[in-house]
């Protein structure tokens, strides 16, 4: 069984709120202070648009925190946007190398049609999967030349949502620098069994998002036809790890025993009352598991 040796946290509970997506120095400082207080020592890189990387680094240095892999997305489903995606990922990769990281996640942008009808593969088209694979192969080739390897992150609401679409992109890019950066929660919400997909592509997994799914919330969201925001904010599809339907022992058993990639906690919208309470419960549960070498 693989073990968690590099553990980070995504500060989305501090960034996502009633005012929408809010990312500024105050949010960064608050999240860094809070997650360090819980026990984490690395946080996902999410640099506000226009902020110099050197300035961003100062907030982490002040908090005594390290950097965990970030996330890049683009409209890979539109071949006309591939050149822009390559330029975008170069800048993203350069920021990562400046912060000492050689790993990150890559995803297709979310699209309105799937935000409206999430997790069911609405309008799935193998030709689109092939275009996405083509764009991601080119982008990750450019990033690899800079020194950063990216792993495919399936995401509900995007055109790499279902297990079939995930496998199609991975299979079409075999031999390219594109790795696999699965998110257990997004895979499960869209109907996949995470450990099965992970086992089949274990040799390409470079990082992992640990996210759990509340089975009652998922069922209610699917039954009502809820859109993405209602599913996450009203039905609370997401839940802290260990409290939902995912078998994380099976997930880590599916990885190579010597796997040493990053594990990133993600609870986009906390099920518990506050971001700190949610993150503390997640930390306590994760660090108590036999597959975690990080201890509280």
Query: pLDDT at position 18, please?
Result: 63
Residue 175 lies inside a defined structural domain of this protein:
yes
Residues in the chain: 296
Write the CB contacts of 278 (distance below 8 Å, at least 6 apart in sequence). 13, 240, 267, 270, 271, 272
How do residues 37-84 score in pLDDT, each as one tens digit?
Answer: 999 999 999 999 999 999 999 999 999 999 999 999 999 999 999 999
Residue 15 lies inside a defined structural domain of this protein:
no
Rg (CA), the chain: 18
Give pLDDT < 50 ranges for the chain. Answer: none
Distance of CA 164 to the CA centre of its chain: 19
Residue 128 lies inside a defined structural domain of this protein:
yes
Give me the helices (H) in the chain, please: 12-15, 25-38, 53-63, 82-98, 112-116, 126-146, 163-172, 184-189, 194-200, 215-224, 228-233, 248-254, 275-287
Residue 35 lies inside a defined structural domain of this protein:
no
Query: pLDDT at position 19, please?
Result: 56
Instruction: Count Cβ atoms below 10 Å from residue 83 Cβ, excluding itself.
Output: 12
Residues 153, 209: contact at Cβ < 8 Å?
Answer: yes
Burial class (CB in 10 A: 0-12, 13-18, 19+), 206: buried
Q: Assign residue 143 a region (left: φ > 0; alpha: ψ between -120 and 50; beta: otherwise).
A: alpha
Instruction: Provide the domain count of the chain.
Output: 1
For the entire predicted model, the pTM comes to 0.97
Residue 57 lies inside a defined structural domain of this protein:
no
Write the CB contacts of 51 (distance below 8 Å, at least 6 apart in sequence). none
Token reading at 102: 């050689």
Residue 62 lies inside a defined structural domain of this protein:
no
Q: Which residues pair with 263 in a beta bridge?
A: 7, 208
Give the CATH number for residue 126: 3.20.20.150
Query: pLDDT at position 144, please?
Result: 98
Q: Are strands 238-239 and 212-213 parallel, antiparallel or unpaired?
A: antiparallel
Token reading at 45: 């890189």
Residue 75 lies inside a defined structural domain of this protein:
yes
What's the domain range around 78? 68-273
Gap between the Cα atoms of 110 and 20, Å rounded: 16
Write the CB contacts of 144 (distance below 8 Å, at least 6 apart in sequence). 177
Gap between the Cα atoms of 54 and 136, Å rounded: 28
Residue 280 lies inside a defined structural domain of this protein:
no
């Amino acid at each position: 069984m693989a073990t968690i040796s590099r553990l980070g946290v995504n500060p989305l509970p501090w960034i996502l709120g009633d005012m929408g997506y809010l990312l500024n120095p105050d949010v960064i400082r608050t999240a860094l202070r809070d997650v360090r207080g819980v026990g984490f020592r690395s946080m996902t890189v999410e640099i506000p648009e226009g902020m110099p990387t050197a300035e961003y680094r100062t907030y982490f240095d002040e908090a005594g925190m390290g950097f965990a892999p970030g996330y890049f997305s683009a409209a890979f489903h539109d071949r006309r946007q591939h050149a822009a995606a390559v330029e975008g990922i170069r800048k993203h990769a350069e920021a990562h190398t400046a912060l000492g990281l050689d790993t990150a996640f890559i995803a297709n942008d979310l699209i309105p049609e799937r935000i409206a009808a999430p997790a069911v593969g609405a309008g799935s088209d193998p030709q689109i999967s092939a275009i996405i694979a083509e764009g991601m192969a080119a982008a990750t080739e450019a990033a690899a030349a800079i020194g950063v390897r990216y792993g495919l992150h399936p995401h509900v609401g995007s055109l790499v949502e279902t297990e079939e679409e995930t496998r199609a992109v991975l299979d079409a890019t075999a031999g390219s620098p594109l790795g696999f950066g699965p998110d257990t929660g997004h895979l499960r919400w869209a109907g996949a069994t995470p450990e099965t997909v992970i086992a089949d592509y274990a040799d390409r997994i470079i990082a992992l998002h640990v996210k759990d799914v509340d089975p009652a919330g998922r069922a209610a969201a699917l039954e009502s036809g809820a859109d993405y925001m209602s599913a996450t904010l009203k039905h609370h599809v997401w839940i802290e790890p260990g409290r939902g339907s995912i078998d994380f022992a099976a997930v880590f058993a599916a990885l190579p025993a010597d796997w040493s990639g990053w594990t990133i906690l993600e609870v986009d919208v906390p099920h518990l009352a506050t971001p700190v309470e949610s993150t503390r419960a997640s930390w306590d549960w994760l660090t108590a598991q036999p597959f975690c070498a990080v201890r509280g």
